[in-house]
Amino acid sequence: MAETHHFDVQTLFGVKGYVAVVTGGGSGIGLMASQALAANGAKVYITGRRMEALETAAKSHAPTNGNGGQIIPIGPCDVTSKHDLERLVADLSKKEKYINLLICNAGISGPKAEPEHEEADDLKAKLWNNEDSQDWADNFNTNVTSVYFTTVAFLPLLQAGISPKGPLEPYAASVITISSMSGIMRHAQGHFSYNTAKGATVHLTKLMSAEFSKAKIRVNSIAPGYFPSEMTAKESDDRQKSHVPPEKIQEKGHVPLERAGREEEMGMTVLYLAKNQYVNGEIIAVDGGVLNVVAGR
């Protein structure tokens, strides 16, 4: 039975000694997750296609609280390439015997075409001329297929630390996919291909959580709303950070909090899923209440 001191925040959410890998870790939600983990003692390897962005992020946001946490760039890696993923795992295996956590965050937004017309001819013209099948294929490949192959590539390292082979308890190793509230809602937001792909990421998470439980590896997903990232703000500053002003969120008219999510709010969710072994196969929307306003499934 738990004593009161077992509920200390460091006991509940501290990740000192954890080893984590974050794809797309050089900016946006990936960087937020990396900061949260490193600030609480984890060694975090961040990867992505742009090595300069990874190095800038790691240098700019290295933890300074002396608890041993680190942010370490590794790569580069294009998660849509099985060759790159195999090379990433091989390189990491030379540095670590196991990892505790994989965060599949890398993603793209894809084309946008608002279905605002009532006349079918106009509606067809808008959607037909502003999207093509290759855009859809690229979107699905990055947001869904790469999540699957990234997870599969890291399964041995995730399992390597589980007892009796290593120091981790069963289900201590886990995967967090970054899906989206867009994969849960019925509003297309002008992003048919993106929302469809994120819906597939949600279902893929559930499939992997069920099937990989045989290997004692948990899989959950965070479905963010509007958070400051290169996807929402279209840019990063010289420290790989983005900003979304409240008025831009207020213009949307469907965000009850009338602001973007705070980076710390994303970090809280990452730590919760990383530590709580009794959570498996869940999709946690961190959306400021959008799905209370916009119809979901």
Active site members: 179, 194, 198
Residue type, 227: F
Q: Which residues have C-beta within 8 Å of that of residue 134, sequence separation ≥ 6?
A: none
Chain centroid to Cα 156, Å, comes to 20
Q: Which residues have C-beta within 8 Å of that of residue 125, sequence separation ≥ 6?
A: none
Chain centroid to Cα 43, Å, comes to 17
Q: Which residues have C-beta within 8 Å of that of residue 27, sequence separation ≥ 6?
A: 53, 57, 229, 230, 236, 240, 241, 242
| C-alpha distances in Å from residue 168, one per residue of 102, 157, 216, 270, 272 | 15, 12, 11, 19, 17
CA gap 39, 35 in Å, rounded: 6
Backbone torsions φ then ψ of 172, nearest 5 degrees: -75, -30
273 sits in the region (left: phi over 0; alpha: psi -120 to 50; else beta) called: alpha
Backbone torsions φ then ψ of 209, nearest 5 degrees: -65, -40
166 sits in the region (left: phi over 0; alpha: psi -120 to 50; else beta) called: beta
The number of beta carbons lying within 10 Å of the beta carbon of residue 56 is: 18
Q: If DSSP codes are grouped into helix, strand and coil, which group holds residue 70?
A: strand
Residue by residue, what is the 3-state secondary structure of 91-134? HHHCCCCCCCEEEECCCCCCCCCCCCCCCHHHHHHHHHHHCCHH
